[in-house]
Each structure stands twice: as C-alpha cells, then as structure tokens.
Amino acid sequence: MITHMKSSHPLYRVWIDTKKRCRVVRGISEKRGRIYKDVHLCQEWYKFEPFYEWAKDKWATGLYIDRKNTLDGYSPSNCRFVTCKINNQNSKLGKTWFINGIIFKSSRDAASFFGCSQTHIYIMCHGKRYKSGRFLPPAVGCYAIKKYPEA
C-alpha cells in the first residue's frame, strides 16, 4: 500500500526502475541480465521515502541516476544524478582514452577534440586488422584502458 502520496512524482519512476535493475527475474533477456549482474540496492532504499529525501534536492528533469562506481550497488554514498552523456561514459565497458598525452573520458570526446570520427579514434588506439590479414598497428602514444578492469 502506497502511503507517501508521491507515486505521480518523476522520482517515483526513477526509484521503481532502479529497484527493477536490482532484481534477477526470469524472462529478462540475457543481455539485460549481464548489464545489471550483481547490482544491489541498499537496505535503506527499499522504501521510497528515504530515497526521495536523498534525491529531491539532487534531481532535475533530464538527469539520470548513476552509480559513481559501477561495480558497487545503489546507495546514497555511491549514487548521483548526471546527464545522459556522463551516465553513458560511466559504464562497466567504458574506457579512458590516452592520445598524445591528452586524457579523454570517451572516444566521443576525443573525436570531437580532433575533429574526426569515433571509429578513427578507435583505430588510432587499437589498430586495425584487415580481411587480407594485413594489420595496421596502433599509433604511437595512443591507447585505451578499461575504467573497470575487473568488469
């Protein structure tokens, strides 16, 4: 039974969706299951009211809940509200790109800086293998490392 009278507030939908990511339910596609594998919700946030009190001054339209460390669960100390771009950069598969001594949080940021495509940035840092067997090695001083190596 809902007693907080805030079920129409946008934060209620954020809370519901966050809780859904923390449940393992049969029928969820494998891809989705892998994305949210081992994600948990802190005990405090099993009820909406504590979540709402934490979030009400931090959230604004257009912001998404994000875990600072994607290997940890949802809790007041590990969560924040960020733009879609920052949320996407902070994924388990995210990389930090090092190009000619400059550090970029995403290949998109690097591509924008150099005025080229993300594919070009990827090839610069990883090289490219052609069907003929020929291999173009990565450019000197260009590489990418995973933000979360254990992920």
In a domain? residue 3 = no
Residues 107 and 44 in one domain: no
Same structural domain for residues 133 and 68? no
Give SS3 for 60: coil
pLDDT of residue 147: 83
137 pLDDT more than 60: yes
Hey, what are 28's tokens? 């969820």
Give the model's confidence band at 33: pLDDT under 50 very low, under 70 low, under 90 confident, else very high.
very low
Is the domain of 65 the same as that of 104? no
Q: Provide φ and ψ at 134, rounded to 5°.
A: -70, 145
Domain residues for the domain of 99 are 95-146
Domains contained in the chain, number: 2
71 and 110 co-located in one domain: no
101 has a pLDDT exceeding 60: yes
In this model, does residue 36 exceed pLDDT 70?
no
User: CA–CA separation, 31 vs 38, rounded Å?
Assistant: 14
